[in-house]
Homo-oligomer: A and B are copies of this chain.
Amino acid sequence: MLMKPLRGVIPPAITPMLDNDTLDLAGLENLLERMIKGGVSGVFILGTSGEAQNLSYAVRKELIRNTCRIVNERIQVLVGITDTSFSESLSLATVAADHGADALVAAPPYYYAPGQAELVQYYTHLSRNLPLPLFLYNMPTHVKVVIEPQTVRTLSENPQIVGLKDSSANGVYFQKVIHLLRDHPDFSLLVGPEEMLAQSVLMGAHGGVNGGANLCPELYVALYYAAKSRNFEMISALQSQVMDISLALYDIGKYASSYIKGIKTALNLLGICSDYMAEPFHKFETAEREIVRQQLIDLGLK
């Protein structure tokens, strides 16, 4: 049962895998138990951090089933159904509902770039066919289009559409959305980039969907509460740790996928799960792995 609004930290879980077609189920359990122990409010699977688009549908569905089973209603489960194919989104949604997930998340279809009017129609048609409430997912670097603030506002009038995850890193965009939704306190506003968690919560966001919370869930949860309670001494100390992690781990190597690789390698070095990456990506080689190991030591995480 979805909380409205959804508050706190909801990590966008990476997907532990043994090979391209096999989940690392022990790793998944470690990962989720660690998040729950760290105080997260929920978990978001099959997002960008979860390499969702690079997984087969069989793996995606197995991930939904196993996540729901392990979580067992202790925290909220949000399931990404972002897809270029309307039918495949519906199929994933059905599996999510059947296994007890709480909500769905969908970025715009991402091969052909739709316009704003097409986005309104798309989300309206989609939500009408979904068995669970839907979060919009703004992710312009990957899908090429922005869900404009006025489009979010328009779609928020649809009772099936219950929130927004904004991963644009655009502070003007997010302030516009907060302002346009100010009379709609149940509509969840969640920020993607963890570097913006504190400031976003200070300005009215409900929480964050922050990749680093795969690694140190308690840090981001603490930062969320520091911001919520406007404890600036605490914010300052925790934000500094968040920035150290961001600068140390997310830009190793020159690839678009270096952020996910950094987190997966770190989790592997901490003994939590496999660092296998789905095609077309590949886990870090020895040299980059050593950099991650050293950074973890310097960060006091290992």
Interface set of A (CB-CB < 8 Å, partner B):
20-21, 48, 51, 53-59, 84-88, 91, 108-115, 118-119, 121-122, 125-126, 142-144, 169-176, 179-180, 182, 193, 195-196, 198-200, 202-204, 230, 232, 236, 239-240, 243-244, 246-247, 254-257, 278-282
Q: Which residues of B contact A180 (CB under 8 A)?
A: 247
Pair B176/A53 contact, Cβ less than 8 Å: no
Say yes or no: A53-B112 contact (C-beta < 8 A), given A175-B243, A196-B172: yes
Pair B84/A53 contact, Cβ less than 8 Å: yes
Interface of A is mostly: helix
Pair A114/B256 contact, Cβ less than 8 Å: yes
In the complex the two chains form, what is the Cα distance from A202 to B230 in whole Å? 10
Q: Which residues of B contact A55 (CB under 8 A)?
A: 85, 87
Chain B nearest CB from A136 CB (Å) reads 14
Number of chain copies forming the complex:
4
Pair A142/B230 contact, Cβ less than 8 Å: no
In the complex the two chains form, what is the Cα distance from A26 to B53 in whole Å? 33
The residue in A20, A51, A112, A125 that gathers the most chain B C-beta atoms within 10 A of its C-beta is: A112
CB contact between A109 and one of B54, B86, B88, B170 (< 8 Å): that residue: B54
Pair B109/A53 contact, Cβ less than 8 Å: yes
Q: Which residues of B contact A118 (CB under 8 A)?
A: 255, 280-282
Provide a sorted-by-A list of 21 A–B residue pairs whose CB atoms are within 8 angstroms: A51-B112, A53-B84, A54-B85, A54-B86, A54-B111, A57-B57, A86-B280, A112-B281, A114-B280, A122-B280, A169-B172, A170-B170, A170-B171, A172-B195, A175-B243, A176-B243, A176-B246, A198-B203, A199-B199, A199-B200, A202-B202
Pair B176/A121 contact, Cβ less than 8 Å: no
Q: Which residues of B contact A230 (CB under 8 A)?
A: 230, 232
In the complex the two chains form, what is the Cα distance from A244 to B110 in whole Å? 31
